[in-house]
Chain A
Amino acid sequence: MLGFREGLRRGCGARLALVAVLLAGVSGCKTQDDAVAAAKQMTTTAATLAAYYQTLDTVVGGTEDTFDAQAVLQGVPAMAPKTLEEIRAQLKLRRELAAKIADLASALTKMTGSTGAADSSKAATKLNAEMVSLAGKKSNDTETKAVTESVNLLMQLIQQHEEVKAAKQVEPVTAALAAFFQKEEPEYDALNDGYLTAAQSVAKMMVTSHQVGGDAAFVSALSPFGLTPAANEKTQAAMESQLLAKIDAEYKRREDEAHKATGAMYDSLKEMDARVSLVTRDQPMDIRQEPLTLKTVQGWIASTQKEAP
């Protein structure tokens, strides 16, 4: 007949193992990996969204400077700062929203990175080791392993259940955020278009009035000899058509780049929502890597911020 402690040890291990096996049959552990991936993507997307709004603010700052330059060149009154300041205040509100999403992503990341299962598993190992010791058994008893694994699995399942519960709370927020961004996409593009068109206008005026040096075109020819170009007005006039064509080409490229970045930011938000939604439905996440659309946004952010005064 089994002693009390031996019975407790065997019964506890067997029951835990049985429950864990039954639960594992109901739901696999992939949810946790998916939840980790979703939380990671959410963190990057929130950071990119904040940087996107910060870059739009830089664009509005550039617009203000461009209108000031235009006022000097053409005698057109500079823009009253009120409206642009209000737009910048609105962009700040959107950055704050992105910060809230980052907080949420951080809480989710903590949850998905919880050591609860491992901690419980260690505790269970300790429990069983004590019991084994009291019973005078060998410490590598197979039941020690069974109890440890069962507790680990149980904790993972509890965590998994809680992750699905959390994702169900998060999903309406990610869906609403994507819809909100989509609604404002035309305004974001309008800010970029307004800036680029005004900048193009000022740049062309500077070129046609020969106030832009064409020195860059001569650097390659002169640099081997340690010389620096100083193109005179005649040379600048000869280069006019070349410089105007360059402005048009660059305008088109930047306009496309900005529009693509806005579209890509929306796609990233939509993808984030889709992945959170998969976790809520316990469906497999085929791709866990960060979406490539985020790279498109980050590329625009980097090039715009690099050229900011």
Chain B
Amino acid sequence: MSDALTTVKQLFLACQTNLTVMLAACKTQEDHDAVVNQYVELRDSYYECIDKAFKENDAVLQVLEAQATSVTATVKRINTQLGDISKVIGYVTQAATIAGKIAAL
């Protein structure tokens, strides 16, 4: 976790937990608005930090996706090759059978 998210998380969760008590303690509308503004700023920062951390990993995510796609294609190719080996043995069988029959004539 980034240091920014660690800090914002502690502040936001504390503020969210005590929001009702803090708002109830406000004597004036001004105090109330100040608490609400602070809370909203913390809340937005908290989710922006999470979003930013995700976006910072975009490049890694894209590389991983490309890697997974490429390896899937390779595994499929190996699968096809395995099938081909099996087919070759089948062809040899047929060829040998025909050759054997011709030789028996």
Contacts and interface: CB of A to CB of B under 8 A. Distances in A.
Interface of A: 4-5, 67, 74-77, 79-80, 83-84, 86-87, 90, 93-94, 96-97, 100-101, 103-104, 107-108, 110-111, 114-117, 119-120, 123-124, 126-127, 130-131, 134, 151, 155, 158-159, 162, 165-166, 169-170, 172-173, 176-177, 180, 183-184, 186-187, 190-191, 193-194, 197-198, 200-201, 204-205, 208
B34 interface: no
B31 interface: no
A84 B16 CA distance: 17
24 contacts: A74-B19, A76-B40, A77-B40, A79-B44, A83-B44, A87-B47, A97-B65, A100-B65, A103-B68, A104-B72, A111-B82, A116-B86, A123-B93, A131-B96, A134-B104, A169-B74, A169-B75, A170-B75, A172-B67, A176-B60, A176-B67, A193-B13, A201-B19, A204-B20
B97 A190 contact: no
Nearest to B37: A77
Contacts of B12: 194
A187 B5 contact: yes
Contacts, number: 177
A89 to B, nearest CB: 9
B104 A187 contact: no
A77 B79 CA distance: 57
A207 B63 CA distance: 49
B68 A134 contact: no
A20 to B, nearest CB: 13
Nearest to B95: A127
Contact of B57 (A159, A166, A180): A180
A114 B82 contact: yes
Nearest to A177: B64
B51 A86 contact: yes
Contacts of A180: 57, 60-61, 64
Contacts of A117: 86
B78 A166 contact: yes
Contacts of B82: 111, 114, 116, 158-159, 162
B61 A93 contact: yes
Contact of A173 (B19, B46, B71): B71
Given A4-B103, A114-B82, A173-B71, 11 more contacts: A5-B100, A5-B103, A107-B72, A111-B79, A123-B86, A123-B90, A155-B86, A159-B82, A176-B64, A194-B16, A197-B13
